[in-house]
């Protein structure tokens, strides 16, 4: 049975997922190397538990998991631990029932979100100008929200939408809050250049 508590657990799952992302990628003022494994284990347990609790959550969580795997986003040991825990939960609690057509649909949407973000990141790395509005839309990863909302209107089942909304709301809240805990850039330190001038002529050295 899906209750408000179920959505709160999904919210927590999104929060711990983003905690893990930032602990891996960002420079925190206080950083414990083991902390990313703790947060990954928590979101893995939450995701596994929720996925085995209902067809809707099972379909959505498995779709997201397969989508990020296909996009090659599980590239750290902490996230790999979370995936392993999700599958361990499946082994303990039984494989979740899934709606196969919706599973395929959500996998495609999740993959599109990851692919679009990668495209924008690579374009920026190459110095190409990307419209700021487009960047915000892509970074918001709205494909799954739009897709689940469409499913809600077509079938009358809005559980998929509220589930992904709960997850992404927490993910974005953490994304906004965590920069306050990161190291600030110190302008006194910057790139350093070391030049070996041994046996260099004084004329060249002066230049």
Q: Which residue has the tokens 């110095």?
A: 127
Determine which helix (DSSP H) or strand (DSSP E) holds 108, and give its type and residue range. Answer: helix 100-125
CB 158 within 8 A of CB 152: yes
pLDDT in tens for each of the 207 residues of the chain?
789 999 999 999 999 999 898 888 776 655 677 899 999 999 999 999 999 999 999 999 999 899 888 877 788 899 999 999 999 999 999 988 899 999 999 999 888 887 787 777 777 777 777 777 776 666 667 888 999 999 999 999 999 999 999 999 998 898 888 766 665 444 444 555 666 666 666 665 444
Phi first, then psi: give them for residue 138, nearest 5 degrees. Answer: -65, -45
Alpha carbons 46 and 54: distance in angstroms, whole number: 13
- Domain range list for the chain: 4-206
pTM, rounded to two decimals? 0.78
């Amino acid at each position: 049975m899906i209750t408000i508590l179920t959505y709160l657990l999904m919210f927590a799952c999104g929060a711990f997922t983003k905690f893990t992302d930032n602990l891996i990628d960002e420079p925190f003022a206080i950083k414990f190397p083991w902390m990313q494994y703790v947060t990954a284990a928590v979101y893995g347990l939450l995701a596994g538990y929720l996925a085995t609790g209902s067809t809707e959550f099972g379909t959505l969580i498995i779709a997201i998991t397969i989508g990020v795997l296909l996009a090659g986003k599980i590239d750290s040991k902490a996230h790999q631990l979370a995936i392993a825990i999700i599958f361990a939960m499946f082994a303990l609690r039984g494989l979740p029932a899934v709606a196969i057509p919706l599973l395929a649909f959500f996998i495609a949407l999740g993959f599109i979100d990851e692919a679009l973000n990668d495209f924008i990141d690579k374009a920026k790395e190459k110095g190409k100008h990307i419209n700021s509005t487009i960047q915000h839309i892509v970074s918001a990863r709205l494909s799954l929200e739009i897709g689940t909302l469409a499913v809600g209107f077509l079938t009358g089942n809005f559980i998929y939408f509220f589930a992904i909304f709960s997850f992404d709301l927490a993910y974005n809240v953490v994304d906004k809050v965590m920069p306050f805990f990161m190291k600030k850039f110190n302008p006194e330190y910057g790139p350093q250049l070391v030049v070996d001038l041994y046996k260099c002529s004084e004329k060249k050295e002066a230049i």
